[in-house]
Amino acid sequence: MSPSASTERTGISVAVVTHDSASALRSSLPPLLAELRSGDELIVCDNASSDGTVALIRELAPEAIVVEPGRNAGFAAGCNLATARATNPLLVLLNPDNVVASGWRDAIELPLAEGRGWSAWQALVTDEGGAKLNSAGGVVHFTGIAWAGGAGRGRDEAPAEPAEVAFASGACLAIRREVWEELGGFPEDYFLYHEDTELGLRLRLRGHRVGIEPRALCDHDYEFTKGSHKWRYLERNRWATLIRTYPGRLLAVLAPALLATELALLLVAAIGGWLPEKLRAWGETLRSLPRLLRERREIQAGARVSAAEFAAALTAELDSEYLGEAGRSRLLGALLGGYWRAALRLL
């Protein structure tokens, strides 16, 4: 089915979370508005911007629905607040610094229009004006470390055809609204980072399929380094995801690897200057443990796949440029690969 054939199928609700995003929106809003059609919705949740973001939205997109919680509620809660106002059957979460390409609107709907059976998917997200990849599909290591697949690689390494992935990047994530509501959206305590990973794994646990539609293109003005506090969120939320989503049998066989990973990360954090943030992440995880265990019981009660089926979405490879020497170590790669093969036989 061609993109034009899909245009009669449904409307989409685009949710954007902003925080002092006026500069980014000047570049991203005009092409997005040019793509949207009659019946589509643009919903913006503004997290207490002080740079004129809301005034700019009202100027450039007067028909947009603007939600103002009056505080910085975080990305996860902001997405939940925005999507609560949506009325269309397909939701699209889009970062404010993500510029959609011509044809994006038709292409992002293709998995739904073509009846692929996917519950969620992402666009092909590029960087540096389309020269490099930002995300060609989320990747999750069995230790819970997650990253944007293909990030930093040349555009020529992008997937040519639609494919299933472990999770869809929150930079441009499409999801059926009934599925989003069934799962309760993002976990708001995450604030930001790793919430798209957690959602993808919960989808997997429920038996849903997640993919990438490479014909839907957008370019993300992405910067990985955002201060040491980012590591606190990443590590705290990685553990929250492990506790919430990993089946008990999988956690049992991974226990030695998870312990070894923590010891290794202590050294990495000390060398990298973010040890205080790693320790804060531990403390916050421990304080949140009663709540996380309650959430785990509810999430695991809805599981529709076995531990082995869930684990099939995970990898033993550390294939990301952001993982430095660890990702390039052949010895570590061999050890992790052997451990994972043994673990899979026990599931």
Q: Which tens digit of pLDDT belongs to each residue from 110-121?
A: 999 999 999 999
Rounded CA separation 161/107 (Å):
12
Torsion of CA 86, 87, 92, 96, to 10 degrees: -40
**The two structure tokens encoding residue 121:** 């998917």
- The mean per-residue pLDDT over the stretch 43-51 comes to 97
Residue type, 97: D
- 29 to 12, 64, 105: CA distances (angstroms): 16, 11, 13
* Coil vs helix vs strand at 47: coil
Q: How many CA atoms lie within 13 A of 37 on its CB side?
A: 14
Predicted confidence (pLDDT) at residue 1 exceeds the cutoff of 90 = no
Rounded CA separation 254/42 (Å):
42
Rounded CA separation 231/226 (Å):
9
Q: What angle do CA 316, 234, 347 make, to 5 degrees?
A: 35
* Coil vs helix vs strand at 296: helix
Predicted confidence (pLDDT) at residue 7 exceeds the cutoff of 60 = no
Q: What is the pLDDT confidence band of residue 328, given thresholds at 50, 70 and 90?
A: confident
Average pLDDT, whole number, for the chain? 93
Q: What is the pLDDT of residues 97-146, one digit of tens each?
A: 999 999 999 999 999 999 999 999 999 999 999 999 999 999 999 999 99
Predicted confidence (pLDDT) at residue 226 exceeds the cutoff of 90 = no
* Coil vs helix vs strand at 86: coil
Q: What is the 3-state secondary structure (H, E, C) of 278-340?
A: HHHHHHHHHHHHHHHHHHHHHHHHCCCCCHHHHHCCCECCCCCHHHHHHHHCHHHHHHHHHHH
What are the phi and psi torsion angles at 95 (to 5°)? -70, 145
* Coil vs helix vs strand at 168: coil
Number of Cβ atoms within 10 Å of the Cβ of 22? 17
Q: What is the pLDDT of residues 82-91, one digit of tens each?
A: 999 999 999 9
Q: What is the pLDDT of residues 245-278, one digit of tens each?
A: 999 999 999 999 999 999 999 999 999 999 999 9
* Coil vs helix vs strand at 38: coil
**The two structure tokens encoding residue 343:** 């673990």
Query: Do 53 and 46 touch, CB atoms closer than 8 A?
Result: yes
Domains of the chain and CATH, by start: 3-220 (3.90.550.10), 229-346 (no CATH)
